[in-house]
Each structure stands twice: as structure tokens, then as C-alpha cells.
Amino acid sequence: MKQNNKKRTFKWKAPSIKWKLILYMLGFSALILIVLWLFQIVLLPFFYKFIMIRQIKNTAHTLAQSADDANIDIIAEELHEESNSCIYMLYFDSRSPIDYHANEDCAIHNSQGYTVRLLRELYQRAKANDGEAILLFYQDAFYAFLKQLNRSDDMRDFFSDEIALTGNQDESILYTVVSETFSGSDVMVVVNSPITPVDATINTLSTLFLFIAGVIVILALLLSLLISRRISKPIIEINDSAKILAEGRYDVNFRGHGYREAGELADTLNYAAEELSKVDTLKNELIANISHDLRTPLTMISGYSEIMRDLPGENTPENCQIIIDEANRLTSLVNDVLDISKLQSGNQSVNLEPLCITEAVKNAMGRYAKLRDIDGYIITFEADRDAVVSADRTRIMQVLYNLVNNAVTYTGEDKTVRITQCCEKGRVRISVTDSGEGIEADKLTLIWDRYYKVDKVHKRAAMGTGLGLSIVKGIIELHHGRCGVESKLGIGSTFWFELDEYSPEIEDEKKETVD
């Protein structure tokens, strides 16, 4: 039994968009929750303290400024209700004190027998400090503070430990402002309030935080599922179409909807599929052409050889010539295919040397003598003067033969092919004009493509491979020249190529820059 020895290799697959999005969303939610927890739970006491101190200060200063107001009572009551703090205003004249009691743990009201001492201490502190004094303390340490005030006092034994405040760890503030009234006497404003958030608030916020965390996580999951479906849907569709394309079905249509990138990707793939289909069609045509072109001469060669072997009378020079011609056709076909594959792969190099192109074209004309004499073709060459170019002789001749052969193939009834040479602005242009049917304007660029043939039913054209002009273009590009065609339907076509005229100075300069 055949055993499959292939090692199973583990290939890591990147997670899908869905999982990535879920991960990112959860990460983002965690970040939000951390920030929320930090500000709402961890930093809450600090913020609370900061805000409360500011509020108490404002209350005290407002009261001090309004000390002479006729409605000071109402103002004090409003502020006391608004800030939920204890307020005690002591006028150092005949006016009676204003007293609002807000919370049980109030330092002013719970100081019992210590009140006078405490007020005196606060007054002295404020006086010594530009009229304001701030006293922050833990409620359970307040009694110790009060006792300390009385250390040198004979009366201290009258006070028992009972007056200690509730004994909790909460922080409290006693803020004192001393200012002058209109009568010139002092007024002392003492405001007291706890500055630690109550446990209930913290508990509420913690519960709220847990609730928010749950909602955010659920929302993040739902959102990531929704977004991932939206993003991945067009990609999945494009992927499915790409699989069809990979099977060689080029008529597949890529559809990208939902967002721009998907649309662009679909357009690019549609374009690629179209191009692939073109190349495929051209390749199929080439294979058909080449097989046809190979079969025709091979059939001729084997047929004529058999006749010549079997019938002694048929061993004539004409029949031999047919075999030779067909063998030559085969050779040129194979050469064309080789040339194009070399040009295509970039392996073709040119051996540039000064070449009198006028002389070279004249010599090439000899090759068409038989066509002229026997078939009645009129092939002429006119040159404005002798011109020298820097070129690879063999390759440039290949270009010329390709163009002239095409012209001979496609020229009209008058069998005329006109070759001209014209020098202008340091360039030499060789043009080959025929009087054939011409080429339709929309085909003029396509004919330079590999394997492209316009007239597939044209009898003589059917012999071509569709590679000639592509080879011409490739060779001229290697010479850094230009080539092109002008054609008028019913009148004929002119194929041309241009090369730089050779000048020793320019060549020397070129060499120097290369060195």
C-alpha cells in the first residue's frame, strides 16, 4: 500500500476579522472601564475633597462679605442648605451670632465645653494668617486636638473623653474667615463640613460601575460582530470569485460593495481577470496558429519528399525548391518564437556598431529580386542621403524584413511597396509604405501586441504568427529608437522606425559617461 509520507506541517492561520475585532473592542472597553474606575472609584475621594474644600471656602467668604447685609440670616440659611454644612457667625459687637447646624458630627456643635476655646483658637489662627484659617482633621482625632488646646488650661479636667466625635476615620474641614464689619468690629465665620464621600455614595457608584461594565462589554461584543460582518462580507464574496478565477474562468465578476476599499479591490481584480482572459485568448490563438503553421509546411515537405522518392520523374529542382522553401518557413517560424521569448525575458542583447543604414537597405533589396522579377512586385527604395546609425546589423535587418514582408503581404493590387529614408534633427527614419486595405484606427495600437492578428480570414495573413510587429517593437526599444504606423483605410499603411544618427563625438561622450 502506498503510504503518504508527507509531513503534516502546522500552518498558523491569522485570526479572522471577527475575532480580531472582538479582541480590539474588548481591549478598548477594558481601557474605558479602567479610566472610569480610576476616576469614579479610586480618585473619587480626592476629587470630592477638592471640590468640597472649594465650596466651603466660597461659602465662608460669601458670608464674610455679606456680614452687614440686612438679610444675612436668609443668606446664611440658603448657603447652609445648599452646601449642607454647619455655619457659625460670631459678631464681635452687639449682634447675636448666626448658627446653622447641619450634621451630627459637626465640630463646632459637638465641642461642647470646648466651643469657646475652639473658637478662640480659630480666631487667633485666622488673624495670624491674613484673615483665614483652614483646619483639616480626622474626626476621631478631633477630641485629642481639643484636649491639646486645653493642656495649659486648669479647666481641662472638667471635660471627659465622652465628647470625642463619632470616632470615624472621615476627614472634616473647619474653615474660618475673620473680616471687619462696617462698624469696625470683627466678624468671624466658621464653616464646617465632612470632606470624605459617604459610604453610600461609594457603594452606589461601585454598583453603577459594575452595571456599566456589563453593558459596555455586551455592547462591544455586539458591535464587533456587526462591524466584522459588514467588513468581511464583501471580502468573502471577492475571495469566492477569486477561487473561480483561479480555476481559469475569466468571465467571473468581482463585486465589492459596502466600502471604498472593497470596491477598488473588486475593480482591480475585474481588470486583472480581463487582462488574463486576453492573454489566454491570445495564447490559445498562438497555439492554434503555430500548430497550423507547423503542420502546413511539414505536410508539404513530407508530401513532396514521398512523391520525389516514389516517382523518379518528380525529382525536379522545382519540387526540391518547394521543400527548401517550406523548411525555411519552418525555420523562420521557430526563430520568431525564440526571438519573442528572448525579448520577453529580457535576455536579448544588441551589439551596437556604426551601420550605414542606407547601404544596408539597398543590399536588402536584393532579397526581393525574385518577388520583383517573377511575381511583378514593385519594391522601391529612396534615400535623401547616406546615413549612418549605431545599430546591431542583424537585428535591424530583421526589423526591415518584417516590415517589408508585411507590406508585401498586405499591399494592394498594384503590388507596390515603397521604402523611404529621411534624415531629420539627428534621427534617421525608415518608412515602409504599401497600398493595401489599411488598418482600422482602433486596431493601430493592438497590432504591436504579441500574437495579435487583425485579419484572421485574410488568406496570406493567415500564414503570419502575429509576432512580427511585436519583435520589431522589442528590437527598436533595445536600440532606444521609436517605431509607429500611419494608416488610411482603402489607401494603405506606412510602418516606420527611427534611430539616432551616428556621430563619433556623441558616441565618445556616451562611452566616457559610462566609464
Which residues in this chain contact ligand ADP in the complex, by CB under 6 A?
A: 402, 406-407, 410, 434, 436, 439, 447, 452-455, 461, 464-470, 493
Strand (E) positions, 336-443? 353-356, 378-383, 388-391, 416-424, 427-434
Give least dist CB 358 to ligand ADP, A. Answer: 22
Nearer to ligand ADP, 147 or 329 (CB): 329
Nearer to ligand ADP, 117 or 415 (CB): 415
Q: Whole-angstrom Cα distance, residue 303 to residue 290?
A: 20
Number of residue whose CB is nearest ligand ADP: 464
CB of 230 to ligand ADP, least distance (A): 49
Closest-CA residue to 489 (of 443, 456, 453, 446): 443
Distance CA 433, CA 416 (A): 8
Is the Cα torsion angle 358, 364, 370, 374 positive or negative in sign? negative
For ligand ADP, give the closer residue by CB, 117 or 367. Answer: 367
DSSP 203-269: HHHHHHHHHHHHHHHHHHHHHHHHHHHHHHHHHHHHHHHHHHHHTT-TT------SSHHHHHHHHHH
Residues 6+ apart with CB under 8 A from 412: 434, 435, 436, 437, 492
C-alpha cell at 445: 495600437
Q: Which of residues 25 and 483 has its CB atom nearest to ligand ADP in the complex?
A: 483
Q: Minimum CB separation from ligand ADP for residue 302, in Å?
A: 24
Q: Tell me how far, at minimum, the Cβ of 408 lies from ligand ADP, in Å.
A: 9
Place of cell 523518379: 312
- Min CB(227)–ligand ADP separation in Å: 53
Among the listed residues 95, 66, 62, 74, the one whose alpha carbon sits nearest the alpha carbon of residue 185: 95
Q: Angle, nearest 10°, between helix axes 468-478 and 393-410? A: 150
CB-based contact 492:408 (threshold 8 Å): no
Nearest residue (CB) to ligand ADP, 44 versus 491: 491
Cβ proximity to ligand ADP: between 256 and 466 the closer is: 466
The phi and psi torsions of 46 (rounded to 5 degrees) equal: -70, -45
Q: How far is the CB of 309 from ligand ADP (least distance, A)?
A: 33
Report yes or no: 339 and 348 within 8 Å, Cβ to Cβ.
Answer: yes
Strand partners, 137: 172
Q: Which of 98/469 has CB closer to ligand ADP?
A: 469
Please say which residue, 29 or 433, places its beta carbon nearer to ligand ADP: 433
The candidate with the shortest Cα–Cα distance to 389, out of 476, 455, 485, 328, is 476
Least separation in angstroms between residue 379's CB and ligand ADP is 13
Least distance between ligand ADP and beta carbon 461 (Å): 5
Task: Output 126 or 467, the one with its CB closest to ligand ADP.
Answer: 467
User: Which residues, in sequence order, are bridge partners of residue 496?
Assistant: 431, 484
Smallest separation (angstroms) from ligand ADP to the CB of 350 = 20
CB of 282 to ligand ADP, least distance (A): 12
Which residues contact residue 87 at a Cβ distance below 8 angstroms, ignoring those fewer than 6 apart?
59, 63, 76, 79, 80, 98, 99, 100, 102, 189, 190, 191
- Closer of 177 and 467 to ligand ADP (Cβ): 467
